[in-house]
Each structure stands twice: as C-alpha cells, then as structure tokens.
Structure 1
Amino acid sequence: MSVKKINPTTNLKGKIHIPGDKSISHRSVMFGSIALGTTEITHFLNGADCLSTIDCFRKLGVDIEQRPDCILVHGKGLHGLSAPADILNVGNSGTTTRLMSGILAGQDFTSVMSGDDSLNSRPMGRIMKPLNSMGAHITSIHGNNCAPLKIEPGNLHGIDYQSPVASAQVKSAVLLAGLYADGTTSVTEPALSRNHTELMLKSFGADISSIQHTDGTATAHIAPCKELYAQKIQVPGDISSAAYFIAAALLVPGSELLIQNVGINPTRAGILEVCQNMGADITYLNQKNAGGEPTADLLVKYSHLHGTTIKGSMIPTLIDEIPMIAVMAAHAEGTTVIKDAAELKVKETNRIDTVTEGLKAMGAEITPTDDGMIIEGGTSLTGAHIQSYLDHRIAMAFAIAGLTAQGETIIENSQCVDVSYPEFFTTLESLQ
C-alpha cells in the first residue's frame, strides 16, 4: 500500500504529454491480434489494464513485441487464436473482460476469464445477455452474473440488440461477436457512446456503419467478416487522463498549462464541453486527425468557474471524468447538477458514493442522488484523508482537489493510478 501527500500550491506552469488513450490502446491490441499481418502501435498506454490485454492475447497464441518505441502485434487472423492453457487473467480491467467476451464467443475452444476481487464483483450480465442471445455460451462460474466467466463454443447469429444503457463496452462486445455471426448484427443505444470500436474496426477492413437518429438514439451495424488486416495505429493522448491536468490548471490560481496531443473525439470529449459551459479558458491548438481520431493541443488557464447541469446524452461522453468534474463543481460559483449517471455505480467503485464521501471529508456541500449528485460550489476545501478504494479515478481527482485545499491531503492506496496513468504523480510534481 502506498500513500501520497498533497499540499496546496499556486502557479502550475509547463507543457505535458498525456499517456496514450486507454480505450484505443486496448482495442489496438485486440483488433491487431485477430487481424492478418503485423499491427504497429505507437504511444501505447503501458498501464496495468492495457498490459492485462496484452497478457491475455499472448495466452491465446498471439506474438506481441513490446519495444521501447512501439508495440508490434503479429496477428493470427479472425480464426487463428488458440485455446489458452490457463485462466485468462484480466486483472482490474473491465474493458478487457467485456470486449474479449465478444471475441471469445466466436472461437471454437473453451476459455475462462477472471480478475481481481474488484473486477470479479462488477456486473457482466449486461454483455452475457446479448451475447448469449446470439448463440454464445457464456456462464458466470459463481452464478452471480460476474466473473469468472466461462465461454464455450457456440454458433453465432446476427441480432438487432436494443441496449438499455449507452455503453461502449456493451456495444463493442456485441459488434465484435458480430464479426463471427452468420448475418448482420446491430446495436441501438439510448445515446451515442464512445465510437472508437467503430472507427478502428472500419480501418481494419470491417463492414461497419453507424447512424445517429433524430430522437438521440444511435445504431451501429456490422456484417460478418472474412478477415481483418493489420494497421499502423498512433494512439492519441487520453482525454480522461488529460482531465486531471485541465482541472488543475483551471482551479489552481496563476496556472497555465499546455497539454499536447489530446484526443478530442466528440464521443469522449464531453469534459471539454462541460468546462466551456462552466466558463473555462481553454484554447485548441494544432488540431489534426490520425486514423479517424481528432487530436489537439489544449492551452488551459486559471479560470473562475460557475455551476452547470450535466445530463442526458452528455453523460456517455464524460462518464469517467465525473469524479474530476465533481471536484471542479465544488470550486465553482453556484450549483452543479449531475444526473442520468447511474452508470457511476458499476465502475471500479460506486463513484456516487466515493465522490460524495471524499468531497464531504474535504468540507464540500454535496448531496448524492440515485443517478448522480448535486454540488453547491464556493466552499473552501480543507485537506483530508481520502480513501481511494483502489479506484484510480478517485485517487487522481482528489489529488487535484488537494492542490487548492487548506492543509495536507493524504491519498490512501495511491498506487492504483498505475491502472491508467503510472506517471501521474511524477508529472504533477514536475509542474510545481
């Protein structure tokens, strides 16, 4: 167990490169593994979750080279994976578990996935239901709709799935199984979730399309595929990781940060819209596009923020950033309302509870609700002992809160940041 002490500061200055996007890093290894040829991945995120994905696909017979400047995935083709000799250890990674379920459902061998205690308590019924309706044979070994999951061979057929939640992991699991189905598969969501799977599969040669309907719902279609083909992938900086330094620059007096090469895919960049609505001073520089993924450098300056309302179709574009947004809201003038975010309950922790606990410990006025929270801003925060509960986003959000709090803030189990941002604290200290 590690503990990190955070003290108040001013005048954060500098320019930083954010680690590679976690979602895109996961997918690049997965899709490269089931493509023909060698996929070259640069700016890959070497966080614990993405390394779990590499480990799993190595156990499935894929040769993956980890070089200093890139990852080389020597793909085996859609039907080239081999039966693992052991349980596939997914660690703490829900993305690995849910997306791999779609791929493994189409294989002709049996596999078992299991992770750590936190992962094995997270709901998997949401992907088991649609995949099993396609003809997959996925069972929860303990009968609780959680991992460990046993996946046995099945004959997959295309379905039209109406997803009750806007979840990129659910959508991706079904679309990946659709590669192996006997007909077209579609997934309709109540709102458009992040679309990295659709963009990347298309670049690998899949017959995939998507449409956003006038009522706000969105549908993705995928046809069965004979093969995917290797690609070169440059992973953009992770907007979810950038969010902590965006917030730090906005909240710490006298600060100005240049955050370089950040992915600004609109299905992920809701945090930037929220910042704009709260009165943030953020300038987009050097905008470009790589592999369908837009990026930019973000120049962020200290700003006086005001409250806002976050709801509806915005939620899927910023679900991982809500702990950080809640901390920003505690500093803002007026009331911030976050709703339609019940998905927070099934992350690494119940983030409605853990955010509420942490902000109350620091003296903020926050009221939890069934699907979000209400935050009355403007109260000066005080340092506190913050229990991360091994949730990387809680640890990082409250580390940023500690930069403006009166007195020392202590983050318990701070090593959990290694899941997505191993250099987080080193980078933070470099700006002070």
Structure 2
Amino acid sequence: MIRIAPVDEVKGSLKAPPSKSYTHRAYFLALLAEGRSKVLEPLFSRDTLATLEAIKTFGALVDRDSIVPPGELSAGYINALESGTTARFSVAIAAIAKGKTTIDGIGRLRERPFDGLVMALQSLGVKVLGNRLPIVVYGGSVEKRKVEVNASKSSQFASALLLLASRIGLEVEIVNPVSRPYIEVTLKTMEAFGVEFERFENKISVYPGVRGTKFNVPGDYSSASFFLAAGALYGKVRVENLQRDDPQADAKILDVLEEFGANVRVGRSHVEVERNELRPLNIDCSDFPDLFPVLAVLASYAEGKSVITGRQLRFKESDRIHAIAVNLARAGIRVRELQNGLEIWGGKPKGFEVVSFNDHRIVMAMAVLALGADGETIVRDEQVVSKSYPNFFEDLWRILQ
C-alpha cells in the first residue's frame, strides 16, 4: 500500500523509461530476422517479458540483449499474461510456425477482441480457431499474398500483419484504423531491421526480408506523459530521453499540454513542462488512447467542462471510461460517462482510495491526481504498474524530493 500526501510544488527531472511499444516490435522482428540482433536498452516489464517468452517459444535464443532467430519457427503454447501486444503479434506470427500454437492470456485480456485479426488470417487461408483467447492457430504456410484487415478495434491487428508480412511478403490493406501512430511505430521499427515496403493510401506492400541489426529502444512518451502532466499541474518537470520527431502516438501529449495552457519546451532529446493558466480540454484521443487516463487528470483541475472521447476506450486493460469515472467521483470531481468518453467538470480533488481495476495506467494517473488533492490518497494495488513501468513510484518520489 502507498499513501500519497498533497505537495506544494513538483520540480525535478528524470529519464523516460524505454518504450514498451518499440521493445515489443524489436523483439518480434529479431525473431523473424536473418542473423543475430541486439536490442539495446529495452523495457523490462511484465508485458515485454511476456513477449520475450513468446519469441523463445517460437524458437529464438535469447542471451541478455542478443537474440538469435531459429531457422524455422516452432509451434507451442504461449501465455501472453495480460499483454495484448504479445498476444496479437503471436497470433499472426503463429501462421508461419508449423504445427499447432495456442495463444492464451489471463485476466481481462481474455475478454479483449481479436476478431479483425482472426478474420484477416483466415482470409489468407490460415486455420484459426477462436475470436478471443485462448486462440489456436494451425500454422506452416500462408496461401495468399494480399490481405485486408479491419483495425477499427485495435491498430495491433494491422501491426501484427505487417510483422508477418516482413517475413513472407504481403500487401496489407488497413481499413478504418484507430491509433494510427502505432502503425507508424511498427513501420519505423521494420525499417530499422531492413524491411522494405511501399505505401499507397491505406495499402502497404511489404517485401520479405528482415535483417538482424542493433536496435536502440527510444524513450517512452506513454510513461513520460504522467510526469509531464505533473509539471503542467504542479510546477516544472523535465524528462530526458524523448526524441523530438518520434512517431509514438503519445507524443501527442506535447500538443495537448500546450492546448491545456502549460508552457512546453521541446529539446532535441528532452521535454520540459511548466505550470501556467489551465484551460478545459475538448479532445478525441482515438489515435492515442493510452493518454486518456492522464488527460482526465488534467481536466479534473481545469475550471469548466472538458470532454474527452475515444473509440476504443472501453476495450483496454479495463473499461477505462468507467474506471476513470469511478475514481474521479471518489475524488469529488463531477463526471459523467458517455458511450465513448467522459464529461469532466474541473475543480479541486479530495484525497480518496484508488480503485485500480487492475489497470496500470489508472493507478499511475490517479497517483498524479493525488499530488494536488485536498487530503491523503491511498493506493493499495501499486504493483499493477509493473505491467508497463515497474519503477513508476520510484521516479515519482524523485521529482517530489
């Protein structure tokens, strides 16, 4: 259990942890490559460790930062734990692993959708059983070289097929995608591994061939967003290890913070955010849904009504619309659930006991909310942050000292 007391000011600096999104993609591309790869400064979290175990099941040899791919991929049993990225990428890659592969998970991951990805694989002639975990894939060969994927529920469906395409060659047509920047992250990582492709509107023709390489994992805007928000609300925070032109979806936090009224200064490899007059938000975060919890925290302190929406917010590690609504109400903030988001009337939160919903981003967002609350806030499930950011609370204390 962690107790968070309100602070007068937040001031400090820290280094952004490595990107979870890039780490997942680099590990899978190293699995698919010809020759050894090195993935340097990866994120070690529950989700990325699930991916490491998955690529080992597929036959990769992993020795610290070095990954040696197998000649042929092995079928087997993969437990993705609660990592949607691990599970969805594994379902696609299992199409070329000869034999029967079962992909499973735990908790809410068993409720999250896979239908768009499964239908796309089936259209390629792959035998796939199940639309939710556990899913069984009978792999070995892919009959066709063109596929259409409906990515309206998750961009991971498209990214999974692009990774598959990097090994076998495919034309991937992406229909109605959410979270488009995550697809850009996939393509950028593929380029780093020597994959060649051509784009025409929503069609991407990927040529087969992945080269082993040395890949340095960039810093993570998703994790950094909590501290940047703390700077905007309570003082001044500088976060190192953030690249200026990175296509990460959650780099959008910089634009949002400026719209919110904060002072934002962007360097070549750092971002500094300082408190200023706060304004309500009216924003659709369908392309950057992982920012939704921290955007709700910002809105909680801005006088007036904010509206924050997104297409897939109820299909994440928790129903994040409901999870945030419950916690804000407990903190004394007026909030109303919409089908696709929240209306939030900002004010002065009070101390409360956080309901985690077993969601790492809910806990991290509520910890930031607590810093300016009137009274003490209690977090009982602090360990859930290990899914993406095991050192979150250590870094939080660093900027409070």
Report TM bin, short chain: over 0.9
Q: Is the counterpart of residue 328 in structure 1 residue 298 in structure 2?
A: yes
Aligned equivalent of 1:24: 22
CA RMSD in angstroms comes to 1.8
Runs of 4+ more than 4 Å apart: 180-183
Aligned equivalent of 2:3: 5
Contact (CA 8 Å) 2:181, 2:247: kept in 1 or not?
A: no
Matched length: 395
* CA-CA distance at 1:4 after TM superposition: 1.8
Distance 1:267 1:54, change over 3 A: closer
Match of 2:60 among 38, 59, 62: 62
Gaps of 5+ in 2: none
Distance 1:31 1:220 in 2: 21
Aligned equivalent of 1:222: 205
With normalisation by structure 1, the TM-score equals 0.87
* CA-CA distance at 1:156 after TM superposition: 3.5
- 1:230-249 deviation digits (Å, cap 9, x = unpaired): 11111111101001001111
Distance 1:164 1:72 in 2: 32
Aligned equivalent of 1:89: 79
Contact (CA 8 Å) 1:65, 1:73: kept in 2 or not?
A: yes
Match of 2:242 among 231, 240, 262: 262
Aligned equivalent of 1:382: 350
Match of 1:346 among 292, 315, 323: 315
Distance 1:228 1:245 in 2: 36
Gaps of 5+ in 1: 214-218, 288-295
SS in 2 for 1:36: coil
Match of 1:40 among 38, 41, 45: 38
Distance 1:407 1:396, change over 3 A: same
Distance 1:202 1:280 in 2: 35
Match of 2:115 among 116, 125, 149: 125
- 1:156-215 deviation digits (Å, cap 9, x = unpaired): 41334252517330111222233455753332445634211111112222232335x5xx
Q: Name the aligned partner's letter for residue 148 of structure 2.
A: Y
Match of 1:74 among 37, 56, 68: 68
SS in 2 for 1:387: coil
Distance 1:179 1:407, change over 3 A: same
SS in 1 for 2:128: strand
* CA-CA distance at 1:220 after TM superposition: 4.3
Q: How does 1:131-280 map to 2 (within 5 A)?
A: 131-140=121-130, 145-153=131-139, 154-161=141-148, 163=150, 165=152, 167-179=154-166, 184-190=171-177, 192-194=180-182, 195-211=184-200, 219-225=202-208, 227-252=209-234, 255-264=235-244, 265-268=246-249, 269-280=251-262
Contact (CA 8 Å) 2:236, 2:272: kept in 1 or not?
A: yes
Distance 1:257 1:28, change over 3 A: same
Distance 2:255 2:281 in 1: 11
* CA-CA distance at 1:416 after TM superposition: 0.4
* CA-CA distance at 1:282 after TM superposition: 1.1
Distance 1:344 1:164 in 2: 14
With normalisation by structure 2, the TM-score equals 0.93
Q: Name the aligned partner's letter for residue 227 of structure 2.
A: F
Q: Name the aligned partner's letter for residue 117 of structure 2.
A: I
Percent identity among equivalent residues? Answer: 29
* CA-CA distance at 1:130 after TM superposition: 1.4
Bigger share in helix: 2
